[in-house]
């Protein structure tokens, strides 16, 4: 038994050496990839909520349009009650009452459909925002020195990465929508 035979790899068998060398010659050159790394953030501007939300402004505008449509459809109800009382119940014209009831039912049906679209759309938008924010926070943590991780408590970092970002997600998904809805209701009636 030779010394080479006791090694985990004893070499290429002589009968396969020519074929192996031909395959190696056909292989493209896989040189090492050069990656430039810096501890500085690639953007020179400070991180703000507005700069973070700027790429999504058209999606937010669409979401606000959906909120406005839902609120207007829901606020049609009190007006239709007034019409029903003034034009149907007092003059005892029940055909108008049936028409008003059908219009109200149709507006509620549309409000439910648009609200469902809004909830789904805002959920997706919130997930995109949180993904981008988590990637940004993670890449920032990757740039920090080892001394930072030695001095900082791990629980505090985990809290920042999970619950604080989730709280921001809830604010963006539900808080802003509720604020806009309440402002529309206040100014329309």
pLDDT digits (tens, 9 = 90+) for 136-171: 888 888 888 888 888 888 888 888 788 888 888 888
How many separate domains does the chain show? 1
Q: Which domain holds residue 110?
A: 56-188
Question: How many other C-beta atoms are found inside a 10 Å radius of the C-beta of residue 107?
Answer: 18
In a domain, 106, yes or no: yes
In a domain, 2, yes or no: no
Cα 126 from Cα 121, distance rounded (Å): 9
pTM of the complete model:
0.64
Where do we find the tokens 């997930």?
Answer: 127
**DSSP result, 4-53:** GGGSS-----GGGHHHHHHHHHHS---PPPP----SS-S--SPP-HHHHH
In a domain, 77, yes or no: yes
In a domain, 149, yes or no: yes
In a domain, 20, yes or no: no
In a domain, 35, yes or no: no
In a domain, 43, yes or no: no
In a domain, 40, yes or no: no
Q: The domain spanning residue 126 has which CATH number?
A: 1.20.1560.10
pLDDT in tens, 23-71: 888 877 767 667 666 666 666 677 787 888 889 899 988 988 998 899 8
């Amino acid at each position: 038994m030779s010394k080479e035979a006791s090694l985990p790899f004893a070499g290429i068998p002589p009968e396969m050496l020519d074929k192996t060398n031909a395959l190696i010659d056909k292989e493209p050159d896989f040189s090492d990839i050069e990656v430039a790394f810096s501890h500085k953030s690639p953007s020179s501007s400070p991180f703000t909520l507005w700069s973070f939300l700027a790429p999504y402004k058209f999606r937010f505008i669409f979401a606000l349009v959906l909120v406005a449509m839902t609120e207007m459809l829901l606020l049609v109800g009190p007006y239709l009650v007034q019409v029903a009382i003034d034009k149907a119940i007092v003059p005892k014209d029940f055909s108008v009452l049936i028409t008003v009831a059908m219009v109200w039912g149709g507006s509620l049906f549309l409000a439910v459909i648009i609200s469902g679209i809004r909830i789904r759309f805002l959920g997706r938008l919130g997930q995109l925002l949180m993904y981008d924010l988590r990637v940004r926070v993670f890449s920032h943590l990757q740039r920090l020195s080892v001394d930072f991780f030695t001095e900082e408590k791990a629980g505090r970092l985990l809290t920042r990465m999970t619950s604080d970002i989730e709280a921001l997600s809830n604010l963006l998904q539900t808080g802003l929508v509720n604020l806009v809805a309440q402002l529309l209701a206040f100014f329309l009636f």
